[in-house]
Amino acid sequence: LADAGGAGGEGQRVMIIGGDGYCGWATALHLSKRGYEVCIVDSLVRRHMDLQLGSDTLTPISSIYERVAKWKELTGLEIKLYIGDICDYDFLVEAVKEFTPDACVHFGEQRSAPYSMIDQKHAVFTQTNNVMGTINTLYAIKDYAPECHLVKLGTMGEYGTPNIDIEEGFITITHNGRTDTLPYPKQGGSFYHLSKVHDSHNIHFATKAWNIACTDLNQGVVYGVKTEETIMDPVLMNRMDYDGVFGTALNRFVVQTAVGHPMTVYGKGGQTRGYLDIRDTVRCLELAIANPAQRGEMRVFNQFTEMWSVNQLSEIISTAGAKIGLTPEVINVPNPRTELEEHYYNAKNTSLLKLGLEPHLLGDEIVETLLSFAVEYKDRVDYKAIMPAVDWKARKESVKA
Amino acid sequence: LADAGGAGGEGQRVMIIGGDGYCGWATALHLSKRGYEVCIVDSLVRRHMDLQLGSDTLTPISSIYERVAKWKELTGLEIKLYIGDICDYDFLVEAVKEFTPDACVHFGEQRSAPYSMIDQKHAVFTQTNNVMGTINTLYAIKDYAPECHLVKLGTMGEYGTPNIDIEEGFITITHNGRTDTLPYPKQGGSFYHLSKVHDSHNIHFATKAWNIACTDLNQGVVYGVKTEETIMDPVLMNRMDYDGVFGTALNRFVVQTAVGHPMTVYGKGGQTRGYLDIRDTVRCLELAIANPAQRGEMRVFNQFTEMWSVNQLSEIISTAGAKIGLTPEVINVPNPRTELEEHYYNAKNTSLLKLGLEPHLLGDEIVETLLSFAVEYKDRVDYKAIMPAVDWKARKESVKA
Ligand SMILES: NC(=O)c1ccc[n+]([C@@H]2O[C@H](COP(=O)([O-])OP(=O)(O)OC[C@H]3O[C@@H](n4cnc5c(N)ncnc54)[C@H](O)[C@@H]3O)[C@@H](O)[C@H]2O)c1
Ligand SMILES: NC(=O)c1ccc[n+]([C@@H]2O[C@H](COP(=O)([O-])OP(=O)(O)OC[C@H]3O[C@@H](n4cnc5c(N)ncnc54)[C@H](O)[C@@H]3O)[C@@H](O)[C@H]2O)c1
């Protein structure tokens, strides 16, 4: 195992697609600090979406130009910027040719399930942006950086909620007396989740056809906002989404509780998923890069540290909230999604632990920190944005039957 | 079982997307003859591709306007035309609202694996055209024709060549003592095949989320050109592709033998796939429509009648060719694809047989008919188009390692 604990990055060049986003920004700073030569590729489409939907991060965030300038000022470290859309293949190729990455971390996708379910246009945008962006990345690597290790963000949501244990990417099946190890069957629950399923299939093919090295990280739901680097200065602060479109469960519940709004549990609340702290996200990325996949290999890691049901999350937050003088409440709202509300869920996550991940577990301490943080910024909360905004099953017209 | 043998279509309205193509045209005429009210939706992009690549069908084909006019003249039956791209959602919605289909047969995709592997632009075109076209079709059905039965063409190539038996769409897996029936794991071998894998996942989700009825037909490689209806007049003649981009194995070998060119077997020739006669394609479509899926159900049928290796095909054609005085030859050319050349292959195809399909098997008679037909049109053969045209593994630049 490569020692990813020290300044393991010496001389390695890492391109971070989507480096202006929640996970990408924290990862860029973390790797830069560890000695990697980092560049960020980002179209800033996420900030544009926020403008269009009228949603905003709880925390005030600076522009990407201010962010990297402040980082340079504080640390002397340079993060090169390539502002553009990876669906524009010529732009991407120029960036890859100029930067010559040893590893390419790909966070740059539309990542909200509700956003992808708004209507036909948002579904098509999501799958075009994500699937074609990833095809372009694969082609750029094949043609211009064949030794580059692609580290691609997938999601645990690709697996859905099967009634059997979830393995890491592949499963060995014995059927009618014969055995093979095949891609784990996927059941994405939104056009967003499905875009990641498509990515995984395209990547699997490309690694074999073109001898590319790839690690596909099926990430759980990320919570938290502070990492060692983002707390160095307010200009480096990360985003924290809490609205009905971009807010993920734990962050959303924390903000709701901080402002005295009941936590909105969708349906029965038995939905169980994998979760992880943003500090573990950046560490997982570091581990994956320091211990690369082989060429021709698509290696899949499930990237989460704990499994929680929505009801368990709301209980944890209730307990922690009460301790710091808040009055947490829960309401069950009609589930806008198409999903099972009570189901078996048992997913493997041993690969990253074996590489040395030491999880930050979800305890009272972290939740209290998160809650206090949310209280600090509560004046910025838009109450209208807190309820679920998109109904999976909505129909455009009332037609026969 | 519904009787699909007579004029079962009485009053049923069937929209055929891709109805100007090889399978679509034959199916449109067949269903029209059986009493279905048929319309064709087609962008004619396939004819445009032929123009761009300089390839052409062996058989001279008339324009879609001449085709439907001749059909009206001969039978009195009307086939309505909607000329446009289903990726243009407004166009598709208008067609669906006006025609109000009871069933929608979706053939309208870019269907050549080599075409999808030409370069980045052709890969992105293929997945955009196919995946977004299918998403649009699903949305149009949800919003404007919720009771419409979608009959979607997939391909046997979605499964790849696993070392276990291939089931029809789903497989029951027992793992660590628990059991579930899950989508069959997919391993598409080109960006074209992968676009169909993506379609299947999107459709599976949409049937559950929106209560849509869908039959996904995983079709094998189709051969032959004549059906009962297309032989009624030269203006109704179907296309027959033999070139390195659009020609599928059996049709290609037939034309090569007819013009005295050796059959080009890729690599060792052990590649085994499912095959069917075009007369069975039209019958399968009729059976699927007459016995629709339930709402909320994605029903998957494997649509082929026999399994052959490439070597077996070339032997069958050699025997039949010699009988009619040709001198069939075989050459093994370097395999341009990424695929196993020797592998296990055993796929189920019982569902359509149970619905009443009586296969036309590949015997000397059919091959002889095909060969004579190819001899008839041999003056139209472009020898330059016969060899494989696209290398799966080609790199754009020579770069380090
Ligand atoms: N946040 C989570 O809980 C979570 C969970 C599982 C997986 N993931 C995955 O991790 C990745 C990052 O998620 P995030 O929460 O940081 O999202 P985010 O929206 O905060 O960041 C994504 C970034 O990618 C950029 N981007 C999107 N499309 C682009 C394109 N075509 N070209 C260039 N840049 C583009 C956006 O502008 C944005 O800055 C995503 O792929 C997401 O699916 C996130
Ligand atoms: N021919 C085979 O052996 C075979 C085997 C398995 C599956 N299939 C599937 O069956 C279907 C038909 O195949 P084919 O051989 O008839 O192909 P084809 O190319 O002859 O016909 C496809 C038709 O769809 C139209 N089309 C494509 N994209 C469109 C769009 N966006 N909007 C409107 N029209 C569009 C084309 O213009 C063309 O007329 C395809 O989906 C193909 O993948 C074919």
CB of B185 within 8 A of CB of B162? yes
Which of A142, A197, A399 has its CB closest to that of B146?
Answer: A399
A21 ligand 1 Cβ < 6 A = yes
B314 ligand 2 Cβ < 6 A = no
Which of B16, B17, B22 gets mutated to test ligand 2 (max ligand atoms within 8 A of its CB)? B22
A208 CB-contact burial (10 Å; exposed 0-12 / middle 13-18 / buried 19+): middle
Gap from CA of B190 to ligand 2 centroid (Å): 16
Per residue, the 3-state secondary structure of chain A, as one string, reads CCCCCCCCCCCCEEEEECCCCHHHHHHHHHHHHCCCEEEEEECCHHHHHHHHHCCCCCCCCCCHHHHHHHHHHHHCCCEEEEECCCCCHHHHHHHHHHHCCCEEEECCCCCCHHHHCCCHHHHHHHHHHHHHHHHHHHHHHHHHCCCCEEEEEEEHHHCCCCCCCECCCEEEEEECCEEEEEECCCCCCCHHHHHHHHHHHHHHHHHHHHCCEEEEEEECEEECCCCCCHHHCHHHCCCCCCCCCCCCHHHHHHHHHHCCCCEEEECCCCCEEEEEEHHHHHHHHHHHHHCCCCCCCEEEEEECCEEEEHHHHHHHHHHHHHHCCCCCCEEEECCCCCCCCCCCCCECCHHHHHCCCCCCCCCHHHHHHHHHHHHHCHHHCCHHHCCCCCCCCCCCCCCCC
Rounded to a whole number, what is the distance in Å from the CA of A186 to chain B's nearest CA?
Answer: 7
Whether residues B143 and A396 touch (CB distance < 8 A) is answered with yes
Nearest residue on chain B to A175, alpha-carbon basis: B164
CATH architecture of B13-385: 3-Layer(aba) Sandwich (3.40)
Pick the residue whose CA is nearest to atom 29 on ligand 1.
A108
Token pair 């055929």: residue = B16
**Residue A148: φ, ψ to 5°:** -70, 135
Gap from CA of A72 to ligand 2 centroid (Å): 54
Query: Which ligand does the CA of B192 lie closest to?
Result: 2
Whether residues B127 and A135 touch (CB distance < 8 A) is answered with yes
Question: Where along chain B do its domains lie?
Answer: 13-385
Gap from CA of B17 to ligand 1 centroid (Å): 35
Judging contacts by C-beta atoms under 8 Å, the chain B residues touching residue A131 are 127, 131, 198
Residues A174-213: tens digit of each pLDDT: 999 999 999 999 999 999 999 999 999 999 999 999 999 9
Rounded to a whole number, what is the distance in Å from the CA of A85 to chain B's nearest CA?
Answer: 15
Query: Which ligand does the CA of A67 lie closest to?
Result: 1
B121, B158, B163, B192: best to mutate for the A interface, most A CBs within 10 A: B163
pLDDT tens for chain B, 401 residues: list them. 554 445 567 789 999 999 999 999 999 999 999 999 999 999 999 999 999 999 999 999 999 999 999 999 999 999 999 999 999 999 999 999 999 999 999 999 999 999 999 999 999 999 999 999 999 999 999 999 999 999 999 999 999 999 999 999 999 999 999 999 999 999 999 999 999 999 999 999 999 999 999 999 999 999 999 999 999 999 999 999 999 999 988 999 999 999 999 999 999 999 999 999 999 999 999 999 999 999 999 999 999 999 999 999 999 999 999 999 999 999 999 999 989 999 999 999 999 999 999 999 998 889 998 999 899 999 999 988 888 778 888 877 543 33
- Could you tell me the CA-to-CA distances from B260 to A368, B252, B264, B325, B388 in Å, in that order? 80, 12, 12, 11, 17
- Could you tell me the CA-to-CA distances from A32 to A277, A287, B379 in Å, in that order? 20, 14, 66
Whether residues A185 and B182 touch (CB distance < 8 A) is answered with yes
Which residues of A are marked as active site? 155, 192, 196
Nearest residue on chain B to A97, alpha-carbon basis: B399
Which residues of B are marked as active site? 155, 192, 196
